[in-house]
Amino acid sequence: MSDNSRPEVSKSLTEEEAILWDSLPPEILTHILVRLPIKSIITCSSVSKTWKSLILNPTFISTHLRHSSSNNNNLLLFRLCPKPLVEAFDDMDPVGHEKEVYALHRDDTITNFDQYTRFDDFPLHRKSCSGIFRVVGTCNGLICLADDLNYLCPNFYLWNPCVKKYVRLPYPYLLTAGFYTAAVGFGFDSKTNDYKVVMFVTRGRGYSHDHEDEGEYPPKVEVEVEVEVEVGVYSLATGKWREATAERPKCAVRNTVIVDLRLQAFVNGALHLVCYKTTPEIRFLYFVLVFDLEDEVFREIPLPKHSDMFFWKWVSIMAFGKSIAVFKPGYSVNAPDIWVLKNYSDASSWTKIISLDIDAQAPLQMPPSRFYRVKTPSLKAFSKSGEAILQTHKKRLVSKDLETKEVKDLGITGSKYSFVDSYVESLVLLDKPDLANPYPYRPY
């Protein structure tokens, strides 16, 4: 990507120059190339067969990723949807020519998160059955996109905008006919050097929330069958889905159509998502289900104790440094909270770091017999320095220092489909062809 402080490389070399460069030891050539902008590295792959072989080697791609991750060029990915696109999607009208906007901003409070670069050529425009993609997450330069806001044709993609390549995943075998609830996670298995997309599926109606619509609160629990989560794992290395080796956990997942919530976080080599189960003491016990991508084992992290555990249904979960944080939106007179697991290995270290202000004049119009959600800021991400990236109820993106409480307007307008996450430039997928799924729709 563009960086004026780094040299550009021309691929117009004389024969003598090409021979001289090819005679360099691979380790010296690698040392030079990993420090170039990605655009220049791609250009260098056309200089000679020797350079192309070196650059497309998985070892070089991994070396470049390590260098890119440690050079303190901290970036944030912003996915924004223009207002006409959002309105067309909400009205189920044709999307037209409006595209989703993907841009990188410097994760730097000094520059006030200035734009670093923008990816204007979104390759999946008009390829979504839903009209708008849901961003599952980012990892090592890859963006995992889910076209699952419409149950008729869920598709999943891995896209690296830096190298302009994407892979469409095969149809998930877990998504068969019948009622189900699915959640998706994305991360990296460092043991096998493989990227994995994990699908968590609950069959049947599970723990029913139907009484919620009748104004009864807390809602009653109706259990049709014993609920468990089926887990399918897609491996980028093999290009296939398979069943996870772990024993199925006895719980239920939340629905992915809750578009304004972050439903998964990849931290410390594991996926984290908020699930729930029922116990004799608690009707809806919400907790963090953790799935280790290396060993494919499950464990649980309790959520903070709260006087009303049902409100955890609506939490977002995301990375906070080397740990996790949850954001509980505001309802009725309850202010939205940000909780952080201070010590990742200590489940009792949950700490509420801030309660955000409620705009009491702007509640959603809901029947008085039900609790209602108020229009408050929503948490989108954390910066490298720990600042909260928030979206106000007027859809303005701001940063908030959690210690000084200082708020800065980033000059960006978002929507309920806005997504923000940390990002690192990489060459991942450069050595792979664009792969298409021959069965993009339901196979029945």
In tens, the pLDDT along 307-353 reads 566 677 788 999 999 999 999 887 655 678 899 999 999 999 999 98
3-class state of residue 122 by DSSP: coil
Please report the pLDDT score of residue 1 as a whole number.
45
User: Given a cut of 60, is residue 406 above it in pLDDT?
Assistant: yes
Q: Are 440 and 157 in contact (CB under 8 A)?
A: no
pLDDT tens profile 113-172: 899 999 988 999 888 877 889 999 999 999 999 988 766 667 899 999 999 999 999 988
Determine contact, residues 236/194, Cβ cutoff 8 Å: yes
Q: Is 62 in contact with 69 (CB distance < 8 Å)? A: no
Q: pLDDT at position 336, please?
A: 82
Calculate the CA 42 to chain-centre distance. Answer: 26
Tens digits of residue pLDDT in 192-242: 999 999 999 988 655 544 444 444 444 444 444 468 899 999 999 999 999
Lookup: tokens for 25: 């030891």
What is the spatial distance between Cα 275 and Cα 252, in angstroms, rounded to a whole number?
Answer: 6
User: Half-sphere exposure of 412 toward its Cβ, with a 13 Å CA cutoff?
Assistant: 27
pLDDT value of position 371:
45
pLDDT at 237: 95
Q: What is the pLDDT confidence band of residue 301, given thresholds at 50, 70 and 90?
A: very high
Residue of 416, 396, 422 lying closest to 407 (CA atoms): 396
Three-class SS state of 21: helix
Which of 43, 56, 35 is CA-nearest to residue 9? 43
Return the amino acid letter for 160.
N
Which residue do the tokens 């999307």 mark? 95
Question: With bands split at pLDDT 50, 70 and 90, how would you rate the model's confidence at 375?
Answer: low
pLDDT of 49 higher than 90: no
CA-to-CA separations, 343 to 26, 303, 321, 383, in angstroms, rounded:
42, 13, 11, 19
What region does 196 belong to: left with phi over 0, alpha with psi -120 to 50, or beta? beta
Tally of residues, the chain:
444
The DSSP annotation for 126-175 comes to T--SSSS-EEEEEETTEEEEEE-SSTTS-EEEEEETTTTEEEEPPPPTT-
Q: What pLDDT does residue 332 have?
A: 55
Q: Please indicate, yes or no, whether the overall pTM of this predicted structure exceeds 0.75.
A: yes
346: nearest Cα among 304, 291, 316: 304
